[in-house]
Amino acid sequence: MRIYDIIEKKRDGQKLTKEEIDFFVQEYTKENIEDYQASALLMAIFINGMDEEETVNLTESMAKSGDMLDLSAIDGITADKHSTGGVGDKTSLIVAPICATLGIKMAKMSGRGLGHTGGTIDKLESINGFNVSLKTEDFFKQVNDICVSIIGQTGNLAPADKKIYALRDVTATVDNISLIASSIMSKKIAAGAKNIVLDVKCGSGAFMKDKESATLLAEMMVKIGKKCGRNMAAVITNMDIPLGSNVGNALEINEVIDILNNKGDKQLRELCIVLSATILSISLDWDYEVAYKKAEQTIIDGSAYKKLIEFVTAQNGNEDFCVAPVSSKSLEIKATKDGYIQSINSRIVGESAVLLGAGREKKTDTIDYGAGIVLYKKTCDKVSVGDTIAILYAETDERLKNAEKLFNTSYTIDDEKPEMKPLIYKTIR
């Protein structure tokens, strides 16, 4: 079998066999195929597409290119929740304790932030002492003991995807439904959970900008998961507005604590209950309404917050949630006219947080865990001249100045109150 023939076949719009896809994934991972040949094949796939069977085969091949986590050592029902990336998205740190409180084994591997979206592991590392690098046996033991653990992704989880994605990123072949779906799902399949719920974001702060493309992606990933023997659901959610009020690692941990103490942002609370109820309903075959009420009750009675404390202390975090202090310098963004916030561009807010030091532009960048943004006004909120729209936090005046200039382009104020878009567009089961 030759990579030349595979490139030629897909260039001409023909369907690739499982054996041809396996050959490409395996040989490229072993560095037996040159980047320029892999780029040619990826561009042919980008232009001519892949059908459902090809996409499933690509997913499985990439998943099997490295470690396949065997969760059979965990007693009970395993589940995972994955977000396609957003701004202010700290839902995993709320959903995992809720589901664990109700007996679901949340054995979760998460990533770090890059670009305008934050990462769960970075948020956890803003808690003093928190260990994200448990050994596999300790990871399993903790999940068996308290039903929840979140650790960093292992270095050899779906290595083919890591290598292929790096090439897609520099060859303008990222934006293809089959390639996106197989990239996400290869890591989820390799991570081993039986039940998977996807939070597919759409809007200004998300990769998918509109409901139609987000729905196509969600449907494809649900089909892939089912073909691979997983119970699946996807919730398509609004990322035109940052999720919650806080953007930045330690700031977002503080918001997690608020939500699990039955306080804080109502939309963030609602989304976390919906995601938790979806996990519970597909994992335990519960009626959704019953699952929703049970999930909500864990917040109301404080049991999910107790589970959060148990989880944090089990991984050496400070039980008093001694997070990194907020950065020493701050700057208020004030309204310059009366009216309503017409929109707030999530991506620009996320990029502003990166400029403040809360995120990375390159993988080698160092994060300031105390940097970030607290939003006091968002889309549809009424403002008067002088009202505080947001406060920016950073360690240097230069960072504040650069972020202020960008942040001020993220919102507009006008006389008419805009129509509020829904938080949740659709659930695919």
- CATH of residue 338's domain is 3.90.1170.30
Integer Cα distance of 198 and 400 in angstroms: 35
- Same domain for 23 and 115, yes or no, is no
**What would the two tokens of residue 91 be?**
């839902």
pLDDT surpasses 80 at 113:
no
pLDDT for 331 equals: 98
Q: From residue 320, how far is each of 34, 257, 304 by CA, in Å?
A: 52, 11, 16
Q: Which of 22, 80, 122, 161 is catalytic?
A: 161
Asked if 38 and 164 count as a contact pair (C-beta separation under 8 A), the reply is yes
- Same domain for 256 and 340, yes or no, is no
- Mean pLDDT of all residues in 117-145: 92
- Same domain for 265 and 381, yes or no, is no
The per-residue pLDDT for range 323-354, each reduced to its tens digit, is 778 899 999 999 999 999 999 999 999 999 99
In a domain, 335, yes or no: yes
Integer Cα distance of 93 and 384 in angstroms: 35
Q: Which of 126, 183, 343, 352 is catalytic?
A: 183
Q: Which of 10, 81, 82, 227 is catalytic?
A: 82
**What would the two tokens of residue 70 be?**
């065997």
- Across the chain, mean pLDDT equals 94
Instruction: Report the SS3 class of residue 219.
Output: helix
- Same domain for 273 and 400, yes or no, is no
- Same domain for 185 and 239, yes or no, is yes
Integer Cα distance of 295 and 260 in angstroms: 11
In a domain, 293, yes or no: yes
- Same domain for 293 and 247, yes or no, is yes
- Same domain for 14 and 111, yes or no, is no
In a domain, 57, yes or no: no
Band (85; pLDDT cuts 50, 70, 90): confident
pLDDT for 219 equals: 96
Query: Which residue's entry shows tokens 């089961």?
Result: 429
Which range, of 17-26, 80-89, 361-370, averages the lowest pLDDT? Answer: 361-370
- Same domain for 378 and 273, yes or no, is no
- Same domain for 200 and 272, yes or no, is yes
Q: Which of 10, 105, 108, 187 is catalytic?
A: 187
Q: What is the CA radius of gyration of the chain?
A: 22
**Residue 183 catalytic?**
yes
**pTM of the predicted structure, to 2 decimals:** 0.93
Integer Cα distance of 97 and 334 in angstroms: 36
The per-residue pLDDT for range 271-304, each reduced to its tens digit, is 999 999 999 999 999 999 999 999 999 999 999 9
pLDDT for 322 equals: 67
The single-letter code of the amino acid at 427 is: T
**Residue 204 catalytic?**
no
The single-letter code of the amino acid at 86 is: G
Band (155; pLDDT cuts 50, 70, 90): low
Picking from 427, 372, 154, 337, the residue whose alpha carbon sits closest to that of residue 246 is: 372
Boundary residue ending a domain (314, 339, 355): 314
In a domain, 429, yes or no: no
Identify the domain containing residue 34 by its residue range. Answer: 3-49
In a domain, 202, yes or no: yes
Picking from 96, 157, 118, 152, the residue whose alpha carbon sits closest to that of residue 310 is: 96
- Same domain for 179 and 284, yes or no, is yes
The per-residue pLDDT for range 197-220, each reduced to its tens digit, is 999 999 988 888 899 999 999 999
- Same domain for 255 and 338, yes or no, is no
- Same domain for 403 and 271, yes or no, is no
Q: Which of 168, 188, 230, 307 is catalytic?
A: 168
- Give the domain CATH number at 298: 3.40.1030.10
Domain count, the chain: 3
- Mean pLDDT of all residues in 385-404: 97
In a domain, 306, yes or no: yes
The helix/strand count (H/E) of the chain reads as 16, 13
**Bridging pattern class, strands 388-394 and 246-247:** unpaired
Count of CA atoms in the C-beta half-sphere (13 A) of 413? 17
Considering only residues 162 and 48, tell me which one the structure prediction assigns the higher pLDDT. Answer: 48
- Mean pLDDT of all residues in 376-394: 97
Q: From residue 173, how far is each of 46, 69, 168, 224 by CA, in Å?
A: 6, 29, 5, 20
**What would the two tokens of residue 154 be?**
């292992």
Asked if 204 and 347 count as a contact pair (C-beta separation under 8 A), the reply is yes
**Residue 187 catalytic?**
yes
Ramachandran class of 417: left when φ > 0, alpha when ψ lies in -120 to 50, beta otherwise = beta
In a domain, 403, yes or no: yes
pLDDT surpasses 90 at 169:
no
In a domain, 289, yes or no: yes
**Residue 82 catalytic?**
yes
Boundary residue ending a domain (287, 314, 341): 314
